[in-house]
Amino acid sequence: MSELEVEAVEDVRTPSVAAGTAEYVLYGGKGGVGKTTMAAATGLASATDGTPTLVVSTDPAHSLSDTYRTDVPSRPGRVRDDVPLWGVEIDPDEAMERAGAMGLGGAGGDAEGAGAGPMGGLGDLLGGGDAGANPLGGPMPGADEAAAMQLLVEYLDDERFERVVVDTAPTGHTLRLLELPELMDSMMGRMLRFREKMGGMMDSMKGLFGGDDAAGAGTGMDGVEEVRERVSRLRDVLTDPARTDFRIVTVPEEMSVVEAKRLRERLEEFGIPVSTVVVNKVMEPLVDVVPSVPSEAFVSPNLEECEFCQRRWDVQQDALAEAQDLFRGRDVERVPLLAEEVRGPDALRVVAACLG
């Protein structure tokens, strides 16, 4: 499959426009709308502008490697040599293994000792066991998402990158991921109070009977405080519009637009601002956006002779009008339906030029 000849696209809009000024750019939406494409295009545009950029995929069904036409590793690795672009596809199994140090399931422990993971050891808090273990076997439900959250926080804190672009999992997974900070904060608060009570009881018994502190009341407390601190920082980052830009991706179909509206409402419940909505796969040339791209690169409907094209055109126009109405006050960007699959840098530059 040949790539598009679009070298002049960079003259239309500078690459930094697609990335904006936020430190963290997150793309969310239902499956199949093109989140990976948007994240990959934004990451490439940001790196082309000279900004050290990491593109993270938290979607279990990864396609970042296909989009970049290179193997993207499960830990941050260089994607291109000519620009400062890194990528990582979070492997759920590996994330669970690494999360063993914080007691979220998986391998059950870190060889470096308790609390050695980047978010501390929840297992220590509960007496050294695996806090994510399911009594019925296997990890607790949601442990894989918690493990992904652990790694995401780690990458957001990585000083090597000035910008982190996140290709999130489909809507349902994303919302559960976003619920974890509050859930963990509540859970750890209860566990801390429990340990304080237990510690007080053990101190009383030690006073009565003498002897050393066999109960180890303080075990794991430092690790839990570290988790609380990281969760708090993550919440601050996600709710700060000066640092984070959460962009919803949809396609010009009624149900997709409605689901995008639901996602926006849920994000607002978390205090996460949405400034941009991207409508992908629009059946029109959009030559005003990227005039240097040849018209054959786009899919334009034959409205005069193709009845199916006319019907699809009407559906898309109605959905676009609804999106403009539902997301009034926010930027609604349109990305055309390209004639070929979006893979490789040239096609991604076309998409980036549309994301201004």
DSSP string, 263-303: HHHHHHHTT--EEEEEEEEESS--TTT-TTS-GGGB----T
Q: What's residue 50's pLDDT?
A: 94
Average pLDDT of the residues in 153-175? 82
Helices (H), the chain: 15-19, 35-48, 64-68, 92-98, 122-125, 143-156, 171-209, 221-238, 254-269, 307-326, 345-354
Average pLDDT of the residues in 289-293? 63
Whether the pLDDT of residue 270 is over 70: the answer is: yes
Domain ranges of the chain: 7-206+216-354
Whether the pLDDT of residue 121 is over 90: the answer is: no
Q: What's residue 203's pLDDT?
A: 62
Q: What's residue 125's pLDDT?
A: 38
| 1-10, 59-68, 177-186, 251-260: which is most confident | 251-260
Q: What's residue 289's pLDDT?
A: 58
Per-residue pLDDT of 245-262, as tens digits, reads 999 999 999 999 999 999
Q: Do 165 and 138 contact (CB within 8 A), yes or no?
A: no
| Confidence label for 10 from pLDDT (cuts 50, 70 and 90) | very low
Whether the pLDDT of residue 104 is over 50: the answer is: no
Per-residue pLDDT of 16-58, as tens digits, reads 456 667 899 999 888 889 999 999 999 999 999 999 999 999 8
Q: What's residue 7's pLDDT?
A: 42
**What is the CATH architecture of 7-206+216-354?**
3-Layer(aba) Sandwich (3.40)
The average confidence (pLDDT) of the chain is 74
Q: What's residue 253's pLDDT?
A: 93
Q: What whole-number distance in Å separates Cα of residue 141 and Cα of residue 135?
A: 12
Whether the pLDDT of residue 219 is over 70: the answer is: no
